[in-house]
A and B are shown apart, each in its own frame.
Chain A
């Protein structure tokens, strides 16, 4: 099928549990090359667990069922005893405070990342170019705190891009940054991803962010993907109850819209799940 050639990642029936509690059940997802996909869900929906499984991490949640085809390679989750990250997937944490060691110079941290990913710690021309494209200056002898948070976040993205990933995962790219900086980071990443044909997976609780950026969107609730499809279709005619709730609360118009007053019950029922 011509469709299959474009397919970068295909996840089938992933289930995972922490102890006896099943936190992900039958999650399926597909991402095409160069596509931007968003995973949207409230807190406790299993978004982060899904990410961790994609990154090959088996603790605290261990996957017990499912199959992942990424970049032509196939992994069966139950067989994954010694966790290994699938190559060419890169992950950018939510917040630069998590991503950097505050006591080490940026140049040192970059060398470490580079050594682990490429095996060589020298600063190549390609890496210089990468920094330039994301609008970053040379490190000098600076520590993380000497840079602004927007620059730190972009540097994290740059580190993730050292290994020329095919898929870049952004975990809540906007929630730790103020909007001015978040928009700037997102613009830089999107421009770079488009240029180099990198697929981007955005994980967020905010459907409006997904609506602005993603080609297709998966809506998660209590460990399941309740809806997955093109963002535009999903926004115009959500199929599931939770999807409808999300779409209704997408923008701030709900404040001036008296019909939605019954939604407190919905909030509580979804709160109870999380």
Chain B
């Protein structure tokens, strides 16, 4: 599980995040939504120790039973042990000089595996993300965006993390590829029980994926709800506007939803 109590982050006197708390059980998905500039990405950075945030408590409890509690300032530390991060732009996230195979293997370099074991691990993880094995010898410039994003997913997965952060994982991809990668993500989560924290502004994606919804607005928590009830009865006017906008753009179905997950109701 991942539990964050009263996180706040200020940079040069500006309050970027103000009193954000959530608690996410293991194997579930939290989707963080909000306009651009609302602090979604800053939240990820703060959780990974890339920004000087203040916590009252941060508990991250991997399945090994090893609990970490940090109080006070959290700055310049390495990210949460046992977590990985998948970025928005897969081409920028991969080293252009390395083959995909090398990039993926680099993620567990510190484990000092033998060549054969390493190859084994890479091929397992490639089949998990539906990439053909010949992709290991390609460079990022030689594959499509969708395949590159799958490689990033593989790179995160090979370290067998308990928690994966996603920063807009689909927004660089086109509509069909988006849905196929989302499907792969779902399969992976079901197979390994990994906890996901996904920053997205696509509410259609969030509706199909999230167990919990966290909506940020100007760094404050506008809504923190179970996904079902968020889409059925949004907590505030602003959330209703967000859902309305997603309907207008066609990423959410038109009819107001009474119960259940929107995706299921719609099909």
Contacts and interface: CB of A to CB of B under 8 A. Distances in A.
A187 B245 CA distance: 10
B2 interface: no
7 contacts: A178-B36, A179-B249, A183-B248, A251-B263, A251-B266, A255-B263, A256-B263
Contacts of B180: 249, 263-264, 267
Contact of B175 (A177, A179, A249): A249
Contacts of B174: 42-43, 205-206
A181 interface: yes
B112 to A, nearest CB: 33
A205 B175 contact: yes
B267 to A, nearest CB: 4
Contacts of A210: 250
A246 B174 CA distance: 11
Residues of A in contact with B, size category: 35 or more
Nearest to B187: A261
A272 B175 CA distance: 16
Interface residues of B, number: 41
Contacts, number: 122
B119 interface: no
Interface of B: 35-36, 130, 132, 144-147, 171, 174-177, 179-180, 182-183, 186, 201-205, 207-209, 241-242, 244-246, 248-251, 253, 261, 263-264, 266-267
A252 B263 contact: yes
User: Is chain A's interface secondary structure helix, strand, loop, or mixed overall?
Assistant: helix
Interface of A: 42-43, 149, 174-175, 177-184, 186-187, 205-213, 245-246, 249-257, 260-261, 263-264, 266-268, 270-272, 274
Contacts of B246: 179, 183
